[in-house]
Amino acid sequence: MADETLARTLTNRFTDALALACELHRSQSRKGTQIPYVSHLLAVASIALEHGATEDEAIAAVLHDAVEDQGGRATAALIRERFGNAVAEIVEASSDTDVTPKPPWKERKQRYLDHLRHAAPSVRLVSAADKLHNARAILSDYRVHGEALWHRFNGGKDGTLWYYRELVNAFESHATTPLVTELRRVVVELNQLAGQHWV
């Protein structure tokens, strides 16, 4: 047991990743809220670690939106330089774009879904942790704000619900892990609340 505990210890690399994430996302808030964006990054890292993430995977979880939202390819190069190829590859593969302005929403999401079906296990772990936290937040906010919630999202109600259903299908095409099972549970509940039947 001691060896297993030692193997899962986080080093200063993780601390450095937290600092970089705070620096990159300092002025960013969660969509439609005043919640600091870093809360999402911490939650995704927490979920990933609870589901067996290595340190590289946990670092990638903390930085998973850095390329997409905070600098594109230049940020990817910075992550590669500071944290190595393994982390950079997970972050890049967890991003649905590295260009600004972003491509059209539906096209971007469909490309990401297609990519997930062939993604490495580390990428699927970080992505599923990300999507689970997002789905939980949407469900919670939907209970509070009702239909007005969907104005926050480029895909609107139908597009957002479609995307999360397809994410579950993409993850399940590989394996039904406890993480994926929990994502399915939340997405089913979200669809039920929205009046859409999906199981």
Mean pLDDT for the chain overall: 91
Select the CATH number that applies to the domain covering 2-193 from these four: 1.10.3210.10, 1.10.10.10, 3.40.50.2300, 1.10.3720.10.
Answer: 1.10.3210.10
* Residue 1: band (very low, low, confident or very high) from pLDDT cuts 50, 70, 90: very low
- Residues in CB range of 49: below 8 A, 6 or more apart: 58, 61
C-alpha–C-alpha distance, residues 132 and 126, integer Å = 10
- Percent with pLDDT over 90 in the chain: 75
pLDDT digits (tens, 9 = 90+) for 77-88: 999 999 999 999
C-alpha–C-alpha distance, residues 92 and 73, integer Å = 9
Q: What do you get for the CA distance between the two ends of the chain, in Å?
A: 39
Number of H helices, E strands in the chain: 11, 0
pLDDT average, residue stretch 30-36: 79
In the chain, domain spans: 2-193
- Residues in CB range of 188: below 8 A, 6 or more apart: 198, 199
* Residue 156: band (very low, low, confident or very high) from pLDDT cuts 50, 70, 90: very high
